[in-house]
Amino acid sequence: MVKLMNADQLVKIAAGAGIFLHEATPETENLYVYATDDSQAHTVYVGKSASRARSTGEVNVEGQDYKDRIGVGFSALIKENNATRRSFRYDPTSFDPALLLRHIEEHEWGGPAIEALRERLDAHLVAAPTISVEDVEKVLVRIHVNTGRLIGNSQFASQWEATVNGAPNVIAVLAADIARQNGTLPKDTDVDAVPTVERPRDEAE
């Protein structure tokens, strides 16, 4: 059984790491997800609204046919999964670094990447916001990757990410750990619950 993430679950995991996403309109969004239009609302794509024009362009591409023309895979991804857009707004001044700092201390996370992030989080407490909208876009994508959930993004979603020690990926790893601790995600995958398929015996046997 493949692992997918519910859009509300993604919002909750982000909040556990001090990143608060609020429902918005297409006019006020700066982040969005495409999620399946059913009770599961599984996320298939995460994006950042760089401008209103770009958002409008993406919506237009979403509606393009892909069966009898050469186009981008985004159209097929959205249509085949019957996905709809959900708009969010993130305010960098609302970021709460204390949640990550407390988790780092309580669970004894360490190493160069953690120390670099800690310095950045400490700086947030005394200076301008240090976790930007673009950072959050990366974090949301990397949350999927670091929890083994499938996501349709190409950018930031590499399984062999060259910047695993970068702040967005480290935040995503910590966010996933927090989610496992607070029950938003199961602590472990129950391997026995994954259905198995018996291979047919060779007729020659």
pTM value is: 0.85
- What is the pLDDT at residue 130? 80
191-200's contacts with Cβ under 8 Å and 24+ in sequence apart are 193/1, 194/1, 195/1
Using CB atoms within 10 A of its CB, is residue 133 exposed (0-12), middle (13-18) or buried (19+)?
Answer: middle
Lookup: tokens for 205: 């046997």
In this predicted structure, what is the pLDDT of residue 124?
Answer: 81
Q: Check whether 114 has a pLDDT greater than 90.
A: yes
Instruction: Put the strands of the sheet holding 21-23 in their side by side order.
Output: 21-23, 83-90, 31-36, 43-48
